[in-house]
Amino acid sequence: MATEVETSVRPRSTPRRMLDQTLVRHLAIALAAGLALYLLSQSLSAFDNLQLATMAYYFVAVAGLTVLTGLNGQISLGHGALMAIGAYTAAKLLEGPAWPLALVLVVSTVVTAVAGVLAGAAAARLRGPYLAGATLALAVGLPSIADKFPGFLGAANGISVTPPIPPGSLGATFPLERWQAWITCLAAVIVYVLLANLVRSRFGRSFRAVRDSEVAAELAGLHVARTQVLAFVVSAACAGLAGGLFVVVTQLAAPGAFPLALSVALLTGVILGGLGSLMGAVWGAAALVLIPTWSDDLSKSLSLSTNVQANLALAVYGVVLIAVMLAAPGGLQAAVDRAAGAVTGALRTSNRSRGSGPRLEEEKET
Amino acid sequence: MRLSTRPLAAAIALAALAGPLGACGSDSGGGGGGASAPGVTKTQITLGGHFPLTGPAAPGYSEIPQAIDAYFKSVNAAGGVNGRKLKFISRDDGYNPANTVKVTKQLVLQDKVFGLLGGLGTPTHSKVVDFLNASRVPDLFVASGCLCWDEPGKHPWTFGWQPDYYVEGKVLGQHIAQQFKGKKVAYFLQNDDFGDDGAKGLDKFVPAAQVVTRQTYEPGNTDIGPQMAKIKASGAEVIASFSIPAYTALVKLAGVKLNYDPTLVVSNVGSDPTTLTGLLKSFSKGKAGGSLIEGIVSDTYLPPTGDTSNSWIKLFKGIHDKYIPKLPWDGNVLYGMSLAYTFVQALDKAGANPTRQGIVDALEAGGLKGPGLVPFRFSKDSHAGYTGVQVGTIKDGNLAVTGKPLTSDDADAPNEPYTQTQPEAPANGIPGGS
């Protein structure tokens, strides 16, 4: 473990070798994560598999948003609406001829990416609160478009689709919820690999350069607006895929499923996990799914009146958010990094049987 | 290097993720010995439902699960049904269909309920009907008047309860055609199945020439100024409204602003006097109140909450005062208790060891006599609830019913007066007298 941390700090000799190493490393992590998720899904109950699937599509959306906000410095309050585009595309396609699910998901990703080009082009001209305001308008306005086309988009009632049927080769009793978890987790792992490579590539560096100083980035020869639009498109594509996966899990696309609260929740996930961190997006997605469930169970176990109970869950959710932000201002991933650093530091200390010197060094490093 | 993805961190994250999830998965649910069906033990039957306990749809509607629970508690205090206590789990979906899917699966897969009772809302519940029927979970008495719950061929496990909006529209339409002959009528409709089904019913009786304008509103957008301006410009003397309580109140307030006071004819779901008075007070910051709702024409299929001589009102008001005295005594509480009563009656008929199929058979056998003013339509071929409504006018904060209850069907049949008297409530409050 200690050597791993050291290699990531040590400078690489040639760019070619570094790219190879990065790709191999991300694929290895993805493989390990995939295996862990497979084993996890085998041991979980039906409802918990559903929670896992929900986490997976939240991860896809939160990871896309963390690239946009954390790496490129653009804030978006409209990602719930972009998810709606992906979800409606997937629902319309699943309603019609029997397309393979993978193709449906790819198409909803592409359609949302195209919408992302439009939104991104507008977003690249706006800064700070103006950008937040514009994307907020997207979140508020877009889902109600469904009301204007009751025949095509089903108005307030939305569109319902049939659930994905697990292939017969898995056996007749294979639970649907596990199949949904597999589909969404596979998509989440693929998105992880793609994004992890993207942020370590030339594009990732230009995203960061534009975030840190637009003037400096422009002087360095970067096209600022184009970089910002590209970041928005990548992020929108993720939101679109998340929307498609949402349909896989819930079998519905309806305006009520994409309220402003969803867009805000995605941003909450980004910040809770750690701005700009893909591993943080895992934490953020887990928090978005588990905290409401836990706080709900907690308030239910307290035998209070129904009105207090229902609202206590929201209050507990808020308290947890505040507590996390106070305890780990850099997000959960920063806290995990610090804990991991402390553990490796302590290991090194005991190996060398010395005092607390190295731990101080670790502190400084992070 | 914020994005460095250290394997150690990844491993810790996954392990931490797996821990709590695994812990959740190991709970055993509500099985146990002596079970004739999921959610049934020797001593208890667990039921669940999804309701808007938070969010914009919560005011009023959040009382329904508490009323169901209160009635169950009163039954439990008297020994339960065939020795089994009734447990009711209400989960909050905030009227968001995505949450409805989540909490319904939680109720069925994790809480292992015997069945759903009173799942609330059309856009919400329509997203879980397929799941419940595929899982063969009784989906009883959906709290919505959509025609779509009455599809025994496609959804054999789903049953409605309240009269559907089409039947309600037919009865209100006939009332308008008879009482407001030749007057100009405007429709004010919620822009979904609720408004659509209601308007179809109205159109069966209100002559097309009399209808001067049809306006719709989107739930969530509280600015109905443009629609009301158009209705006023059309010169309508009567507004027929299929709206939820908040929008009924907004119509009244917009009328005050425009100095325009036509007769308002409102669907049952949007006309509870207590809820409306509260909404008017809160919307106008205390300037308006109960006096505005006087004269609203509406309908009911349950005895009016203010009819204290009625045996059902006496029974349910007593349970309300004992178990949920902090809630207002209003139509929502009456609704929840009446619905719970109907369920207990069906459960009693399903025998000493109820099964999921057993309760469906008991309902399809018919013969339930509940708090309603009209009979149920339940049979092998129909999973629709109450067959009709009685028209009334709000006087002194209560609905004063007139004439006879009218029953109808979901096709072209005329509205027939229902002449049998309402059955008396059982003395101990429990159907079957057990």
Q: DSSP string covering A225-281, please?
A: HHHHHHHHHHHHHHHHHHHHHHHHHH-EE-GGGS-HHHHHHHHHHHHHH-TT-HHHH
**What does the CA dihedral A134, A315, A258, A197 come to, rounded to 10 degrees?**
70
Residue owning tokens 């005092």: A355
Q: pTM of this prediction? A: 0.82
Pick from B175, B176, B172, B147: which is nearest to B162 by CA? B147
Q: How many CB atoms sit inside 10 A of residue A326's CB?
A: 8
- Between chains, do A47 and B105 touch, taking CB under 8 Å as contact? yes
Q: Does A239 touch chain B (CB under 8 A)?
A: no
List the single residue in B53, B92, B192 with the smallest CB-CB distance to A156.
Answer: B192
* B92 min Cα distance to partner chain A (Å): 7
- Per-residue burial over B119-130, b = 16 or more CB atoms within 10 Å of its CB, e = otherwise: bbbbbbbbbbbb
The confidence score (pLDDT) of residue B58 equals 83
**Sequence-distant (≥ 6) Cβ neighbours of residue B222 within 8 angstroms:** B246, B250
> Looking at the DSSP assignment, which residues form a beta bridge with residue B90?
B49
List the single residue in A144, A259, A282 with the smallest CB-CB distance to B218.
Answer: A144
Pick from A115, A133, A351: which is nearest to A236 by CA? A115
The residue among B2, B28, B154, B323 with the most chain A CBs within 10 A of its CB, best to mutate, is B2
Provide φ and ψ at B300, rounded to 5°. -150, 155
Higher pLDDT, A205 or B22: A205
Angle value at C-alpha A305, between A300 and A311, nearest 5 degrees: 65
Per CB-CB distance under 8 Å, the chain A contacts of B66 are 305-307
The confidence score (pLDDT) of residue A17 equals 60
Q: Is the ipTM of this complex over 0.90?
A: no
The confidence score (pLDDT) of residue A348 equals 80
Residue owning tokens 């419940």: B132
**Residue A44: pLDDT over 80:** yes
Q: Does A139 touch chain B (CB under 8 A)?
A: no
Residue B12 in tokens: 């810790």
Q: Does A156 touch chain B (CB under 8 A)?
A: yes
Residue of A nearest to B89 (CA): A300
The confidence score (pLDDT) of residue A353 equals 55
Residue owning tokens 């999804």: B50
The residue among B1, B8, B64 with the most chain A CBs within 10 A of its CB, best to mutate, is B8
- Between chains, do B101 and A54 touch, taking CB under 8 Å as contact? no
List the single residue in B5, B126, B220 with the smallest CB-CB distance to A279.
Answer: B5
Q: How far apart are CA B60 and CA B328, in angstroms?
A: 9
Residue B58 in tokens: 């919560």
* B183 min Cα distance to partner chain A (Å): 31
The residue among A5, A9, A45 with the most chain B CBs within 10 A of its CB, best to mutate, is A45
Residue of B nearest to A148 (CA): B191
The confidence score (pLDDT) of residue A138 equals 87
Higher pLDDT, A34 or A14: A34
Pick from A286, A157, A180: which is nearest to B124 by CA? A157
The confidence score (pLDDT) of residue B55 equals 80
Residues listed for chain A: 366
> Looking at the DSSP assignment, which residues form a beta bridge with residue B297?
B265, B393
Q: How far apart are CA B34 and CA A286, in angstroms?
A: 38
- Between chains, do B6 and A177 touch, taking CB under 8 Å as contact? no
Residue of B nearest to A297 (CA): B91
The residue among A4, A48, A58, A159 with the most chain B CBs within 10 A of its CB, best to mutate, is A48
Residue A254 in tokens: 């309806």
Q: How far apart are CA B108 and CA A238, in angstroms?
A: 31
Residue of A nearest to B61 (CA): A307
Task: With beta carbons less than 8 A apart as the criterion, state whether B380 and B364 touch.
Answer: yes
- Between chains, do A250 and B5 touch, taking CB under 8 Å as contact? no
Per CB-CB distance under 8 Å, the chain A contacts of B193 are 157
**Residue A8: pLDDT over 50:** no
Tens of pLDDT, residue by residue, chain B (434 residues): 344 444 444 444 444 444 444 344 333 333 444 567 899 999 999 999 999 988 877 878 899 999 999 999 999 999 999 999 999 999 999 888 889 999 999 999 999 999 999 999 988 999 999 999 999 999 999 999 999 999 999 999 999 999 999 999 999 999 999 999 999 999 999 988 889 999 999 999 999 999 999 999 987 778 899 999 999 999 999 999 999 888 999 999 999 999 999 999 999 989 999 989 988 998 888 888 778 999 999 999 999 998 889 999 999 999 999 999 999 999 999 999 999 999 999 999 998 889 999 999 999 998 888 799 999 999 999 999 999 999 999 998 899 999 899 999 888 888 999 988 888 888 888 887 54
Q: Which amino acid appears at position A63 of this protein?
A: A
Q: How far apart are CA A239 and CA A84, in angstroms?
A: 9
- Between chains, do A43 and B25 touch, taking CB under 8 Å as contact? yes
Per-residue model confidence as pLDDT tens digits over A262-314: 999 999 999 999 888 899 999 999 999 998 888 888 877 877 776 777 788 78
Q: Does A95 touch chain B (CB under 8 A)?
A: no
Per CB-CB distance under 8 Å, the chain B contacts of A250 are 97-98, 101-102, 127
**Residue A365: pLDDT over 60:** no
A38 conformational bin, left if phi > 0, alpha if psi -120 to 50, beta if neither = alpha
Task: With beta carbons less than 8 A apart as the criterion, state whether A232 and A242 touch.
Answer: no
**Sequence-distant (≥ 6) Cβ neighbours of residue A254 within 8 angstroms:** A146, A154, A156, A157, A158, A159, B97, B98, B123, B127
- Between chains, do B130 and A251 touch, taking CB under 8 Å as contact? yes
- Between chains, do B97 and A307 touch, taking CB under 8 Å as contact? no
Task: With beta carbons less than 8 A apart as the criterion, state whether A274 and A334 touch.
Answer: yes
Residue B339 in tokens: 């619905």
Q: At what angle do helices B97-105 and A46-66 cross, to 10 degrees?
A: 140
* A126 min Cα distance to partner chain B (Å): 26
Q: How far apart are CA A53 and CA B21, in angstroms?
A: 12
List the single residue in B5, B25, B54 with the smallest CB-CB distance to A29.
Answer: B5
| Number of inter-chain CB pairs under 8 A, A vs B | 171
Residue A190 in tokens: 């693929």
Read off the pLDDT of each residue in A3-12 and give the average, rounded to a whole number.
Answer: 45
List the single residue in B7, B98, B126 with the smallest CB-CB distance to A29.
Answer: B7
- Between chains, do B21 and A48 touch, taking CB under 8 Å as contact? yes
**Residue A245: pLDDT over 90:** yes
Read off the pLDDT of each residue in A232-252 and give the average, rounded to a whole number.
Answer: 94
